[in-house]
Amino acid sequence: MTAADLLEALARATLAGSVVLLLVLALRIPARRLFGPEAAYGLWAAPVGAALLSLAPWPFGAPWPGAERMTLRPLVEQAGGWPTALAFLWFFGAAVGLFLASRAQAAFERDAQAGRAGPAVCGVISPRVVMPARDPYSDDERVLIRAHEREHVSRGDPKANALAAALQVVFWFNPLVHLGARAMRLDQELACDAATLRRYPKARRLYAEALLKTELAHTPLPLGCRWPAAARHPLEVRLAAMKGGARSGAVGGFATLAFTLAASGFMWAAKPAVPEPPERPWPEIPGPTMEVLLLDAMPTALPTGAG
């Protein structure tokens, strides 16, 4: 892959993902109120799908007139020698982002070993529940907290957060990706709260008291699930969401799936179709020349005379 190919792929994925991400940021709160927190959390699959599908060619021909001209290649090619410099800049920023994420993960691991971290889920391949050494919870509250963290594991939330952290490293230059990652983690916690309360419907007050005892996280956790402190008033949002009940229905799931497919499919169709390879004409074989015909007509050997 050349530098121009890399920049074109980054530009196309950034454009497609940002458009859908803005839609999700605008729809997440209305979706939470109408269909519940789990439906709002499901919307976050749409920006990822749109960004990935924007890199794949649309195989069904031009979806509308002029779609074949929607390519970023001319802009990249007109940049002269800038694509190589910009590719090095992107690589440097991604390396810095990877270093910061690794340092944050290592800091959490140190806090967990010292008993200063938790409750949280740490890890991706083999996630584990981490509880603080000075546990402020009662026995009943501890059951709810552990059920909440195990719900993260069963739903695959650590893998989703790892993907979000990877996208933050790749698209480090896009502030919408970092804003979306923080909002997604808050929606993830709200969805996990709803799933936990669905299992313990009579423990709503006890669950709220456990949340009030939980300290906000000041160190980010890229590979795991942790209550984010960077979101705006996370405790108020979580307590307010609990008043609406633990709703989860087929209507919300269908609406989320329909939005994801529609948004991703539209961005996929915006990719120019695969150009058909030009037909190669059959090579012209020249006919025999006059010299070749004369030589073919001459006898191969002269007859010998009788002396």
Domain coordinates of the chain in residue numbers? 3-276
Q: Mind listing the pLDDT tens digit for each residue in 52-81?
A: 988 887 676 555 555 555 555 565 556 556
Q: Going by C-beta distance under 8 Å and a sequence separation of 6 or more, which residues neighbour residue 276?
A: none
Alpha-carbon separation of residue 120 from 117, 147, 222, 226 (angstroms): 7, 11, 12, 5
The more confident residue out of 165 and 57 is 165
pLDDT value at position 299?
59
pLDDT value at position 304?
56
Q: Going by C-beta distance under 8 Å and a sequence separation of 6 or more, which residues neighbour residue 164?
A: 181, 184, 185
- The pLDDT of 155-183, averaged and rounded, is 95
Nearest to 86 by CA among 197, 8, 157: 8
Rounded to two decimals, the pTM is 0.80
- Judged by average pLDDT, the poorest of 94-103, 189-198, 242-251 is 242-251
Task: Give the Cα separation of 204 and 246 in Å (integer).
Answer: 10
Q: Going by C-beta distance under 8 Å and a sequence separation of 6 or more, which residues neighbour residue 293?
A: none
pLDDT value at position 55?
83
Q: Mind listing the pLDDT tens digit for each residue in 196-237?
A: 999 998 988 898 888 888 766 666 788 888 766 544 456 667
106 pLDDT band, cuts 50/70/90, is: very high
Task: Give the Cα separation of 273 and 297 in Å (integer).
Answer: 57
The more confident residue out of 130 and 305 is 130
